[in-house]
C-alpha cells in the first residue's frame, strides 16, 4: 500500500514493497483509491509443517519501517524502506546489518525527489515501497511515486555500482520512470518487485487497489520496461473495495509464489493488513491458493494474520519481501506496534515449507 503521512503514520506512507536478491546469480527466483476498505476478520493460517517460533528478536533501529526491501550482498544485509520528505529515515532510507538481527540506520538514498517525478505526479512528497536487487554487478533500486488515494503514479529506477552506508545517497543514478499510470487507467503503478524466471526472462510485478496486481516484462540490460511489451497482465484481484497490493514473487521448486497484502495498512494499531500467497507453474499465472481458488477471483492462502483481536502486540502484518538463502528462507515485513502508538516496525521470520510445497511463517 502506499500512503504516507505525518511521521508516525509516517508510513502511512505506502504500501508494500520488497527486495529480492542477486537476480543475475539466482534465477530462482506496494495508495488506496478514495475508498475505505471493509476490514476482513482475522483469517486462520494454513496448517504448518513445524511449530511456530515467531519473529526474530531484532535490535537497533527497526522503526519506523514500512515496506521493507532486503538484499544480502557479501556479508551485509541491506534494507530499504518507504520515506517521505522530512522523515528521519529519509527518502528510501538505508539500514544495514551483518546478522539479520541488529540494524543500523544510515539515512536516505535520495536527498530529494527526482525532477521528472515532480512533473509526472504533482503533489508527491515521498518515495514508497522500494525493491532492491543486483544484476551483473549493478544494484537496481525500484521505487514508487504517488499521492494518497490516487492512481496518477509512477515506478522509477535508480542504479549504482556501489552502496555506501557512510554516504547512502552518493552513488545512485536515477534512470527515470519504468511505468506510469494515469487516472484513466484501471491500475496503479506502485509497489514494484523485479524477478527473473527459470528461462532467464526479467519481469516486474506491481499494483495496489484498482484492478489489482499486474505484471510487465523488463529489459535485462537496463532494468527498464522491455520495448514492445504488451499491456500489463493481470495476476490477482479482489472485488472493490477490498484491498490488494504489495506483490512479491519468488520461485521455489517447480512453482512461482505470489505474496500479496490484503486489507488496510497505514492505520497504526487499527491496521487490518495481512499477507496471503498463491502459486503457479508459470510466472505470468494463473495463480491459485492452497484450496485451488484463483487469485484473480480473490483467492489467497493466509501466510500472516492481521493480529487483530488475538492479543498480539504487532498487528497489520504486510508489505512483505522474501529473502532466499541456502541456509533457509525468511519473510521480511512491517507490522504496527500497539505498545508504541502503532508505529510501523520491522519484523523478520523464518519461512518454512510444507511437504506439499506451501510456505509457512515459522
C-alpha 253/C-alpha 357 separation (Å) is 8
Separation between Cα atoms, residue 338 and residue 89, nearest integer Å: 21
In Å, what is the CA distance from 343 to each residue of 11, 12, 227, 315, 339?
9, 10, 41, 10, 9
Give strand pairing partners of 127.
83
**DSSP structure string for 90-150:** -EEEEEEESSSSEEEEEEEEESS--HHHHHHSTT--EEEEEEEEEETTEEEEEEEE--TT-
Could you tell me if 350 and 322 are in contact, meaning their C-beta atoms sit under 8 angstroms apart? no
| Residue 67 annotated in active site | yes
- According to DSSP, the β-strands at 153-160 and 83-84 are unpaired
Q: Check if 89 is active-site.
A: no
- Of the listed 67, 263, 329, 337, which one is catalytic? 67
Q: What are phi and psi of 146, to 5 degrees?
A: -160, 180
Q: Which of 20, 89, 191, 245 is catalytic?
A: 245
- Are β-strands 76-80 and 359-361 bridged in parallel, bridged antiparallel, or unpaired? unpaired
**Residue 205 DSSP one-character state:** E
Question: Residue for cell digits 520512470?
Answer: 177
Taking the C-alpha atoms of residue 94 and residue 104, their distance in angstroms, rounded to an integer, is: 8
**Spatial CA neighbour of 139 closest among 14, 283, 24, 17:** 24
Max CA distance (Å), the chain: 51
Catalytic site positions: 67, 245
Amino acid at each position: 500500500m502506499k500512503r504516507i503521512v505525518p511521521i508516525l503514520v509516517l508510513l502511512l506512507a505506502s504500501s508494500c514493497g520488497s527486495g529480492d536478491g542477486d537476480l543475475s546469480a539466482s534465477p530462482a527466483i506496494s495508495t488506496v483509491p478514495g475508498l475505505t476498505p471493509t476490514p476482513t476478520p482475522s483469517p486462520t493460517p494454513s496448517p504448518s509443517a513445524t511449530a511456530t517460533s515467531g519473529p526474530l528478536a531484532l535490535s537497533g533501529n527497526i522503526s519506523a519501517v514500512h515496506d521493507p526491501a532486503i538484499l544480502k550482498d557479501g556479508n551485509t544485509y541491506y534494507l530499504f524502506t518507504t520515506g517521505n520528505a522530512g522523515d528521519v529515515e529519509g527518502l528510501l532510507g538505508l539500514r544495514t546489518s551483518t546478522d539479520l538481527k541488529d540494524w543500523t540506520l544510515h539515512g536516505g538514498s535520495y536527498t530529494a525527489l527526482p525532477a521528472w517525478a515532480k512533473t509526472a505526479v504533482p503533489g508527491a512528497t515521498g518515495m514508497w515501497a522500494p525493491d532492491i536487487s543486483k544484476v551483473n554487478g549493478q544494484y537496481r533500486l525500484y521505487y514508487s511515486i504517488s499521492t494518497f488515494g490516487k492512481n496518477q503514479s509512477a515506478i522509477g529506477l535508480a542504479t549504482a555500482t556501489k552502496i555506501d552506508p557512510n554516504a547512502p545517497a552518493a552513488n545512485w543514478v536515477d534512470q527515470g520512470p519504468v511505468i506510469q499510470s494515469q487516472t484513466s487507467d484501471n491500475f496503479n503503478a506502485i509497489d514494484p518487485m523485479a524477478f527473473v524466471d527459470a528461462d532467464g526472462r526479467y519481469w516486474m510485478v506491481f499494483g495496489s487497489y484498482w484492478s489489482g496486481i499486474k505484471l510487465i516484462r523488463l529489459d535485462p540490460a537496463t532494468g527498464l520496461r522491455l520495448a514492445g511489451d504488451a499491456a500489463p497482465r493481470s495476476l490477482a484481484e479482489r472485488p472493490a473495495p477490498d484491498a490488494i497490493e504489495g506483490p512479491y514473487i519468488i520461485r521455489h521448486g517447480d512453482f512461482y509464489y505470489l505474496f500479496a497484502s490484503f486489507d488496510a495498512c497505514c492505520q497504526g494499531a487499527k491496521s487490518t493488513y495481512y499477507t496471503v500467497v498463491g502459486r503457479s507453474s508459470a510466472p505470468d499465472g494463473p495463480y491459485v491458493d492452497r484450496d485451488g481458488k484463483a487469485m484473480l477471483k480473490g483467492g489467497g492462502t493466509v501466510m500472516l494474520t492481521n493480529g487483530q483481536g488475538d492479543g498480539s502486540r504487532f498487528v497489520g502484518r504486510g508489505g512483505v519481501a522474501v529473502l532466499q538463502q541456502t541456509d533457509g528462507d525468511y519473510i521480511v515485513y512491517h507490522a504496527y506496534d500497539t505498545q508504541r502508538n502503532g508505529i510501523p516496525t520491522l519484523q523478520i521470520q523464518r519461512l518454512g515449507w510444507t511437504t506439499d510445497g506451501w510456505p509457512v511463517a515459522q
